Amino acid sequence: MLSALIIDDEDRVRETLIHMLSVYCPNIMVIGQANSVASGYKQITELKPDVVFLDVKMPDGTGFELLRKFDKVDFYFIIITAYEEYAIQSFKVCALDYLLKPIDSTDLINAIAKLAKAIGSEETNLNLNTFLSNIECEKNDSKKIVLKTLEAIFIIDTDDLIRCESQNNYTAFHLKDKSTIIVSKTLKEYEEMLTPLSFIRCHQTHLVNIKYITKYIKYPNAILQMADESIIPISVRKKEAIERLFKK
């Protein structure tokens, strides 16, 4: 059984979430509620919950400002928000869960199932720390990302990533220091994470960092030349999007 605290300035949202947790997630016990950054900080300090459901925008600040008040975030958190905003990109990059209002029961069940698997793992702690580092950074186009292989867990800056290449159900990350990291996730998963951070899918098997494109060759076959001297094909379907980059 995991103890939970719900921090949201809307009474209706808190009541609905409490009900949904009791119906769909019996392994979660709600031990408290708060409606602001100040009251949330007090409740976390006193109750020490295992997991916090944390609203983004509240009258006296944001959920991120609340997280920054702790020298060490020793609890898990799931963001709840009404907005598809920039901050959500940080959740995706760091593989953390968020719930969009109005909260969907399937999304809630999936988030709790993921949380149960993540508890105590080294990767989860790295994801939390990376997320906190990202929200401290005001630049929207450079974030850290956690990559897990069989041998190690890496934290890399997206500015150091030249391109990603699909290798069946794996993705190879090619970095500017000429190293390569291969992870057992599909390129599609990373496309969603990285597209808002100056990356573009130019081919079925390639996702590239726009900053590292050194040449666009139109004929006879459309290709990109990258800073690592790799030659990347451009699919017919993606050619128009690539050309728009060079018209800005």
pLDDT for res 14:
96
Peptide bond into 233 cis (omega under 30): no
CA gap 105, 63 in Å, rounded: 22
Query: Tokens standing for 127?
Result: 């994801």
pLDDT for res 147:
87
pLDDT in tens, 8-65: 999 999 999 999 999 999 999 999 999 999 999 999 999 999 999 999 889 999 888 8
pLDDT for res 44:
96
Q: Which of 80, 101, 136 is the last residue of a domain?
A: 136
pLDDT for res 176:
94
Residue 148, pLDDT > 80, answer: yes
CA gap 139, 118 in Å, rounded: 29
Task: Tell me: do 7 and 129 sit in the same domain.
Answer: yes
Q: Which of 136, 161, 192 is the last residue of a domain?
A: 136
Residue-range definition of the domain harbouring residue 187: 151-245
Query: Tokens standing for 37?
Result: 């950054």
Task: Tell me: do 102 and 162 sit in the same domain.
Answer: no
- Stretch 210-237: mean pLDDT: 93
CA gap 184, 165 in Å, rounded: 12
CA gap 239, 208 in Å, rounded: 14
Q: Which residue has the higher pLDDT, 160 or 118?
A: 160
pLDDT for res 48:
95
pLDDT for res 84:
60
pLDDT for res 103:
92
Task: Tell me: do 204 and 111 sit in the same domain.
Answer: no
pLDDT for res 86:
45
Q: Which of 92, 108, 136 is the last residue of a domain?
A: 136
CA gap 154, 196 in Å, rounded: 21
Task: Tell me: do 127 and 81 sit in the same domain.
Answer: yes
Task: Tell me: do 101 and 191 sit in the same domain.
Answer: no
pLDDT for res 141:
53
CATH of residue 59: 3.40.50.2300
Residue 137, pLDDT > 60, answer: no
Based on the structure, what is the number of domains in the chain? 2
225's enclosing H/E stretch is strand 223-226
pLDDT for res 138:
52
Task: Tell me: do 241 and 171 sit in the same domain.
Answer: yes
pLDDT for res 5:
97
DSSP-assigned letters across all residues of 111-169: HHHHHHHHTT-HHHHHHHHHHHHHHH---TT--EEEEE-SS-EEEEEGGGEEEEEEETT
Task: Tell me: do 232 and 209 sit in the same domain.
Answer: yes
198's enclosing H/E stretch is none
CATH of residue 178: 2.40.50.1020
Task: Tell me: do 87 and 16 sit in the same domain.
Answer: yes
Task: Tell me: do 127 and 155 sit in the same domain.
Answer: no
CA gap 1, 21 in Å, rounded: 12
Query: Tokens standing for 18?
Result: 């409490």
User: Which residue, chain included where needed, has tokens 């990285």?
Assistant: 194
The answer to whether the beta carbons of residues 49 and 32 sit under 8 Å apart is yes
Q: Is residue 158 part of a domain?
A: yes
pLDDT for res 81:
83
Q: Which of 131-135, 143-147, 192-196, 210-214 reaches the highest mean pLDDT?
A: 210-214
The answer to whether the beta carbons of residues 234 and 202 sit under 8 Å apart is yes
Average pLDDT, the chain: 86
Q: Which residue has the higher pLDDT, 142 or 179?
A: 179
Give CA torsion, residues 192, 193, 198, 201, to 10 deg.
Answer: -40
Task: Tell me: do 96 and 212 sit in the same domain.
Answer: no
